[in-house]
Amino acid sequence: MRAAFQAAPFYDLLGIRVETERPGTSRLTLSNRAELRQSQGGVHGGALMSLADSAMGVALGTALREGDAWSTVEMTTQFLEPVGGSDVVAEAAVARLGRTLAFLDCSLESEGRLVARARAIFRVRRA
């Protein structure tokens, strides 16, 4: 999963890197850079949502077989507090994996504080 993830330029553009990947889980980090900040100085919510979506995608990818494909169907995010100048860590896990749908949860932390939560439904296409 890590090699496929790192081959996509979007993640490099945002500064997202895979820290760990175990079956059904992942831990990714978003480097906090000035380019990702919104007008009030915090990390933009779109960057945080991209981090959460990416973490859940990696977690799901580790739970599927080679050749299976997946795509996000729906995602909700709750922003709990602004992110200051530190990196953001996302931890994601598969909550339920069915034949055609998968449900995932993700938490985002910065400086040891929970800053956002996300949940997503993914469509799974088996090889």
Q: Looking at per-residue confidence, does 100 or 6 come out higher?
A: 100
Contact between residue 25 and residue 62 where contact means Cβ atoms under 8 Å apart: yes
Positive/negative CA dihedral, 7, 8, 10, 15:
negative
Look-up of token digits 């504080």: 113
Domain ranges of the chain: 2-125
Query: Considering the chain, what percentage of its residues have pLDDT values greater than 90?
Result: 89
Q: Which CATH superfamily is domain 2-125 in?
A: Hotdog Thioesterase (3.10.129.10)
pLDDT 10s digits, 52-93? 999 999 999 999 999 999 999 999 999 999 998 899 999 999
What radius of gyration, in Å, describes the C-alpha atoms of the chain?
14
Q: Which amino acid appears at position 88 of this protein?
A: V
Look-up of token digits 């931890």: 91
Q: How far apart are CA 16 and CA 19, in angstroms?
A: 10
